[in-house]
Amino acid sequence: MEPNPLLRQLPQIDALLRRPELAGLSPAAAAPLARKTVEEARQRILSGEVKDAPSAEDLCAAILQKARGTRLREVLNGTGVVLHTNLGRACLSEAAARAVVTAARRYSDLEYDLASGARGARDCRAEALLRTLTGAERALVVNNNAAAVLLALTAVAGGGEAVISRGELVEIGGSFRIPELAEQCGCKLREVGTTNKTRLRDYRKALGPETRAVLKVHTSNYRVVGFTESVSLPQLAELAHSRRLPVIQDLGSGCLTDLWGEPTVQACLRSGADIVTFSGDKLLGGPQAGLLAGSARWIEPLRRHPLARALRVDKLTLAALEATLETYLDPRRAQAELPVPRMLSETPETLRRRGEALLSLLGEDFPAALVETEEPAGGGSLPERRFAGLALAVTPAEITPEELARRLRTGERPVLGRVRGERYLLHLRTLWDEDLPCLASALREALP
Ligand SMILES: *Cc1c(COP(=O)(O)O)cnc(C)c1O
């Protein structure tokens, strides 16, 4: 068979590598990328996908792009899901973002006590804030809540048993399942009760010489409803404390304000939990982190445990967390400045004003209208709550809504919305006012 003549127009690898465009790349780095790029061009020619061979300039541009890799891209979130795990969960406040930049660019007193001129603890500022905000005797910060549970269970119940209700054997996405995590901690889970009903006497019967802790897991991403019964934290704490055992409460979504009817960290501590663990980037609205708050008796040993060093957070996280926690000292400030609480309690008037601003940027002939919607909080939080929301519904005439979604997703500034039947929806709750002009141009460009 006659070889495709276009193939002969592809440059030699050596010739490509000598081009000035690639002068900034080491030959060792450039050669494999050049081979890969030319091979991809060959395949496109052979498959008939292209009618011209790419120029050497195009090939060099493709090689450079491969060398730079693809970075984390900013996405306009039109899904209405505030805590979208695939989109990075919580967005930080301006103050938290500024703190990150400062900590990143210069030296800081990360582990240095300026007053005494001696070494200090890296999470002492976050700990002080957590103590003030939750009333806990001690607090500790690790990489995420999974790490917090890992540390607590390993240190407290490793080599022994932790008693847990069968109604609380939670999975938070495939990579975090309480039973598998406990196994990793060397801790045997002693399951009590049934999926829907667990009573105090079930716990009492299970306590034995091997018991090291009672574990309570907040069902933050599901609810057991109907014919149910569970044991309240105060009752459980009373039972555990009568045997000198601690109650570890994995609170998951971790609220400091009772805006959404979720148990707050401070309420759990008042109810007798000895260690409460929760996420920094769920309802709290801070960076990814795992926070532990509790009594000195049970938190102090965790701080000294070898795992604590392996799970510790870096200075950028601490900077963001300190700034986030600081906002909670004034609840009104937290509500106004932290994107998560602000978005979750956005008023219908604000959403409508945002929607109308977007509509007017799009112009009269754009095929869109505002529709009322219902939105989940996301991030394994508030499973039963639906927030009344508002979305821009686009009804494209000449392309399918799926094609519109694809164009917006793969554009210069990616936009994510949702396809619902014949319409493409952009929920206004998770969009920023300042991004509306950019969003409007992306929408206008995407429609033929
Ligand atoms: C989310 C969640 C976790 C895991 O927290 P990460 O911060 O994502 O590691 C653990 N337990 C519960 C109950 C949760 O809701």
Does residue 42 surpass a pLDDT of 80?
yes
The predicted pLDDT at position 340 comes to: 96
Task: Name all residues whose Cβ lies below 6 A of ligand 1.
Answer: 144-146, 170, 172, 176, 217-218, 220-221, 250, 252-253, 279, 290, 380
In whole angstroms, what separates CA 204 from the centre of its chain?
Answer: 37
The predicted pLDDT at position 441 comes to: 97
Mapped onto helix, strand or coil, the DSSP state of residue 328 is coil
Kindly state the average pLDDT of the residues 83-109.
97
436 confidence band (pLDDT: 50, 70, 90): very high
Alpha helix locations (H) across 410-446?
436-446
315 pLDDT tier (thresholds 50, 70, 90): very high
Short-list 15, 29, 23, 11, CA closest to 68 = 29
Answer yes or no: is pLDDT of 170 > 90.
no
User: Quick one: pLDDT band at residue 1, thresholds 50, 70, 90?
Assistant: low
Identify the CA nearest to 295 among candidates 269, 257, 334, 318. Answer: 269
CB 127 within 8 Å of CB 120: no
Closest residue (by CA) to atom 14 of ligand 1? 252
Percentage of the chain lying above the pLDDT 70 cut? 99
- pTM of the entire structure? 0.91
> What's the CA-to-centroid distance between 253 and ligand 1, angstroms?
7
Mean pLDDT of the chain: 94
Ligand 1, atom nearest to 221 Cα = 15
Kindly state the average pLDDT of the residues 9-33: 92
pLDDT exceeds cutoff 90 at 102: yes
State the distance from the centre of ligand 1 to the C-alpha of 268, rounded, in angstroms. 16
The pLDDT value recorded for residue 110 is 96
Query: What pLDDT is stored for residue 397 in this prediction?
Result: 92
So what's the pLDDT on residue 2? 64
* SS3 call for 133: helix
CA distance 358 to 437: 8
CA 346 to centroid of ligand 1, rounded, Å: 25
| Across 43-52, 76-85, 264-273, 350-359, least confident range | 43-52
Question: Which pair of tokens denotes residue 6?
Answer: 């276009």
pLDDT for the residue numbered 392: 98
- pLDDT given for residue 45 in this prediction: 92
Contact 284, 255 (CB under 8 A): yes
Give the mutation target among 279, 288, 317, 340 for probing the ligand 1 site: most ligand atoms within 8 A of CB: 279
Residue minimizing CA distance to atom 13 of ligand 1: 252
Once rounded to an integer, what is the mean pLDDT over residues 41-61?
90
Q: Ligand 1, atom 8: nearest CA belongs to which residue?
A: 145
Please say if the pLDDT value at position 236 is more than 70. Answer: yes
> Does residue 174 have a pLDDT over 80?
no
Give distance in angstroms: CA of 81 to centre of ligand 1: 17
- What are the C-alpha distances in Å from 424 to residues 195, 348, 356, 415, 427? 39, 21, 17, 12, 10
The rounded distance, in Å, linking the Cα atoms of 126 and 315 is: 11
Q: Is the pLDDT of residue 412 over 90?
A: no
Burial profile 37-69: b = 16 or more Cβ within 10 angstroms, e = fewer:
bbeebeeebeeeeeeebbeeeebbebbbebeee
Give me the mean pLDDT over the 270-281 stretch: 97
Name which of 21-25, 251-255, 257-261, 307-311 the model is least confident about. 257-261
What would the pLDDT profile of 356-383 be if each residue is shown by its tens digit?
999 999 999 999 999 999 988 887 788 8
pLDDT of residue 291: 98
